[in-house]
A and B are shown apart, each in its own frame.
Chain A
Amino acid sequence: MTLAIHGIAAAGGPFGPPQPIAREAGGLHTAIGYWHHEDRYKNGTEFVTRQDQVYSEAGYGAQNRWDIYARIGVSNLKIQDAFSSTNALTTTSNNDFDENWKFFGTLGAKVFYPFGKTFGMGAFVQGTYSFNSLKDDVSGTNNGTPYRAVLTVQDLWDVNFGIGFQATVPYGIRLYAGPYVYYSEGTASLSTNVPGLQFSTTDTTIKNTTNAGGFAGIDLPLAKGFRLNVEGQYSERLSAGGAITYTY
């Protein structure tokens, strides 16, 4: 039996401005960033997921038209009420699934078309995969009998596609916003069946329910080739983060 539980989405990370970061003549860029991602699902039980990513990015682009990039970083995962019991005879030591830093990777590509010196629009596709299994354990008693179980979330991935509109204002500041769609899924399983817990030993596909959202951000030139990018995304809940990029 496969039970689909919605609402646990992988953190896609920021999309960045539609205009490529690389120099027009072509070149590399690198970045370091932080991203806080939240999502939620309601269907009798409410799961709220939170992830914090710290990543390093490298990319290459040219002609002010296209850019490809890759990220590698670490991310945690918190699923609120993942261990909440629906059975009065089952007690749990903790309600939340909480896993610390595990590696993930992201690949992305974007194209940009300028309408003039000020406006332009672009499209992007970005995917993320979590290399490691995410685990947390829970213990308690079931009808007076002690138990201990481990919940494993693995093969967590997502893909995002969006369109962004950009305006370049004085001082080279780029403002951008647009809609995006996304899909994410993973597999969750509990090491032991415990009555009242919402996961079981059967592999459970977990995925998001809301497939669309919006994003907006600002990209500020700093000094000496550095730029600051701050972005927010909203689908089920608000996610936000920032990155400092360096253009070679």
Chain B
Amino acid sequence: MKSFSFAVLLFALITVGCAHTPQVASSPASPAASPQPQPIIVASTSDEVPPKPPEATVKSPETPVNSEKGTVNNDTNIDYTEESKEGEAPTIADPIEPFNRAMFEFNDKLYFWLLKPVAQGYKAVVPEEARVSVKNFFSNLGFPVRFVSCLLQADINCAATEVGRFTVNTVWGIGGLMDPASSKDLNLQKQDVDLGQTLGVWGVGQGFYIVWPLAGPSSVRDSVVIAGEYFLYPPSYMSEIAPWYVGPIVRSYEEVNRTSLRIGDYEALKEAAIDPYVSLRDAYVQYRWKKIRLKKGAQIDELAPSGMRMER
């Protein structure tokens, strides 16, 4: 039970997306490996082909925001409107901001003191091609989450694409280490779907903002699907075939590998932001909002908010 609880905790903390290992995504329609929401959007990967025009990309962390530190109303009934009017930026309530800021600081230190040094050492000895292959492997294991999400969103084309990708990459991609499905010939791009997004597509509001220790930015809606994504992610079952500590080691390795491919992104965000906490929060909510809007069929042009705005 102890090992199971530890695995669940570690999974929950890691898979939501570490605040300090910003997920690289070229566009909301083609995020990086993790099936979980990722906060930082800095286009830098070369292994994913953005299927959407540049207008669809989420505002980069360098983009100035007009949110102000400490101006959030802690009223839990804040009229969060995910279905914002055209041209308006998405917003999110932050009633537990003191806690969130504490967790933000914790994650920040964890990143700079532990994760980044380990990832830098790992990067120094492992060639980029190998690290990309490892990322591809774990991404391929995320197939069940994406497939189920596609089905729950009644998107058959999405589900079929995922099945095709998984088959091709597993069989001809050496167990997922390679990604032939994304080649120009096959053009089976990874679907940018997850269970939290599915709830959003169903019309479930995202609730308030939460920063999880280790895991980083999230919302109530994205947090409640952690269990579902845990059970749909094959490495979660490592304890069934190996000692209990193998699972956490594998997940930690996955995180180190992912971080090694994005060193510098989080630093860029911090340098560009007046208040990194607010910038991260805004980037996260905007990214999730666009991801859901795109799934609902919104036009790309509609997803260009006039600016970021926090509820007061």
Binding site for B on A (CB under 8 A): 28, 30-32, 56, 58, 224-225, 244-246, 248
Considering the complex, give the chain A residue whose CB is closest to the CB of B180: A246
B172 surroundings in chain A (CB, below 8 A): 30-32, 244-246
Judge if B246 is at the interface, Cβ distance under 8 Å: no
Shortest beta-carbon distance from B256 to chain A in Å:
25
The complex places the Cα of A30 from the Cα of B168 at a distance, in Å, of: 11
B180 surroundings in chain A (CB, below 8 A): 30, 225, 246, 248
The complex places the Cα of A22 from the Cα of B53 at a distance, in Å, of: 33
Shortest beta-carbon distance from B43 to chain A in Å:
24
- A225 with B174: CB separation less than 8 A: no
- B171 with A32: CB separation less than 8 A: yes
Binding site for A on B (CB under 8 A): 168, 171-175, 178, 180, 183, 185-186
B186 surroundings in chain A (CB, below 8 A): 224-225
Known: A28-B178, A248-B180. A225 touches B173 (CB 8 A): no
Shortest beta-carbon distance from B11 to chain A in Å:
29
A56 surroundings in chain B (CB, below 8 A): 171, 174-175
**SS of B interface (majority):** loop
A30 surroundings in chain B (CB, below 8 A): 171-174, 178, 180
The complex places the Cα of A244 from the Cα of B175 at a distance, in Å, of: 15
- A225 with B185: CB separation less than 8 A: yes
A28 surroundings in chain B (CB, below 8 A): 178
The complex places the Cα of A32 from the Cα of B175 at a distance, in Å, of: 11
The complex places the Cα of A56 from the Cα of B173 at a distance, in Å, of: 10
The complex places the Cα of A32 from the Cα of B168 at a distance, in Å, of: 10
Shortest beta-carbon distance from A246 to chain B in Å:
4
The complex places the Cα of A152 from the Cα of B57 at a distance, in Å, of: 61
The complex places the Cα of A140 from the Cα of B175 at a distance, in Å, of: 44
Considering the complex, give the chain B residue whose CB is closest to the CB of A248: B180
Known: A30-B173, A31-B172. A224 touches B178 (CB 8 A): no
The complex places the Cα of A78 from the Cα of B92 at a distance, in Å, of: 66
The complex places the Cα of A244 from the Cα of B172 at a distance, in Å, of: 9
The complex places the Cα of A56 from the Cα of B174 at a distance, in Å, of: 7
B174 surroundings in chain A (CB, below 8 A): 30, 56, 58
- B185 with A224: CB separation less than 8 A: yes
Considering the complex, give the chain B residue whose CB is closest to the CB of A31: B172
Considering the complex, give the chain B residue whose CB is closest to the CB of A224: B185
Shortest beta-carbon distance from B176 to chain A in Å:
12
B185 surroundings in chain A (CB, below 8 A): 224-225
Lowest 10 A-B CB distances belong to which pairs?
A224-B185, A246-B172, A30-B172, A32-B171, A225-B185, A224-B186, A58-B174, A246-B180, A30-B174, A248-B180
The complex places the Cα of A32 from the Cα of B173 at a distance, in Å, of: 10
10 pairs of residues in contact across A and B, judged by CB atoms under 8 Å: A30-B171, A30-B172, A30-B174, A31-B172, A225-B183, A225-B185, A245-B172, A246-B168, A248-B178, A248-B183
